[in-house]
Amino acid sequence: MGTTTGPIHFLNIEYFFRLLYEMVTRPSVGSVQVDILTLASQIWLIVTGISIIITIGILAVFIHSSMRVYQIRRQEAHLFTTLNPVHAEVERDHSRWDHVRELIESPNESDWRQAIIEADIMLDDLLTQLGYAGQGVGEKLKAVDPARMHTLQDAWEGHKVRNEIAHQGYAYQLTEHMAHRTIAHFEAVMREFGEI
């Protein structure tokens, strides 16, 4: 057998790794030797410095924003605080009673009737709030202990007029004096329990 001497074609991996190693450790650019590791470390220091400056800036913006939000919340706290339950109840009932007062001060008899009906509804709500059960104000008033309600008679007087208005309608002759006296009965009950 004869041997043929021709070019040998194979890939020398070690040779390429050696070239890469030499290029990384001591590449030559023209006549100047550049140390890539030194260059990389300098670039890293620059990037780190820039990152620190950006981080400090972001932190400053965050602290400023947090302080500003805190100041705004303190300034607006009164707008978003809730009323305590006692104050809220008084406010709510005062507005209802103010409506009754507006109706009773009207020159129209129909407004007086409406004022008495509204006051009776408030009495019903009060009795329910006090824990009395029943189908209406009359049943609830029957269950009331007179020792617990000093204005029980006033409640009955106001409720009787309301019943006359509800059952007889405009056939019931309601004078201005009677309307004001009836509202005064309801008002006495509401004042006893601090509803107005």
Same domain, 61 and 140: no
Instruction: Look at residue 31 in the predicted model and tell me its pLDDT.
Output: 42
Q: What is the CATH number of the domain that holds 175?
A: 1.20.120
Measure the CA–CA gap between 142 and 64, rounded to whole angstroms: 65
- Residue 11 located in a structural domain: no
> Taking Cα atoms as reference points, which of 59, 61, 39 lies closest to residue 51?
59
Instruction: Look at residue 21 in the predicted model and tell me its pLDDT.
Output: 73
Domain total for the chain? 2
Where among 40, 75, 110 does a domain terminate? Answer: 75
Place of tokens 């103010």: 98
Instruction: Look at residue 104 in the predicted model and tell me its pLDDT.
Output: 94
- Residue 10 located in a structural domain: no
Instruction: Look at residue 25 in the predicted model and tell me its pLDDT.
Output: 65
Same domain, 39 and 107: no
Measure the CA–CA gap between 143 and 9, rounded to whole angstroms: 114
Same domain, 50 and 71: yes
DSSP 4: P
Instruction: Look at residue 13 in the predicted model and tell me its pLDDT.
Output: 78
* Residue-wise DSSP of 73-123: HHHTHHHHPPPPHHHHHHHHHHHHHHHHHHHHTSS-HHHHHHHHHHHHHHH
Same domain, 65 and 89: no
Which residues constitute the domain of residue 137? 85-192
Instruction: Look at residue 167 in the predicted model and tell me its pLDDT.
Output: 92
- Residue 149 located in a structural domain: yes
Identify the three-state secondary structure at position 28: strand
Instruction: Look at residue 119 in the predicted model and tell me its pLDDT.
Output: 95
Measure the CA–CA gap between 90 and 50, rounded to whole angstroms: 61
What string of pLDDT tens digits covers the 196 residues of the chain?
555 566 666 667 787 777 767 766 665 554 445 566 677 778 888 999 999 999 999 999 999 999 999 998 888 876 666 655 555 554 554 788 999 999 999 999 999 999 999 999 999 999 999 999 888 999 999 999 889 999 999 999 999 999 999 999 888 899 999 999 999 999 999 999 888 8
Using only C-alpha atoms, the chain has a radius of gyration, in whole angstroms, of: 46
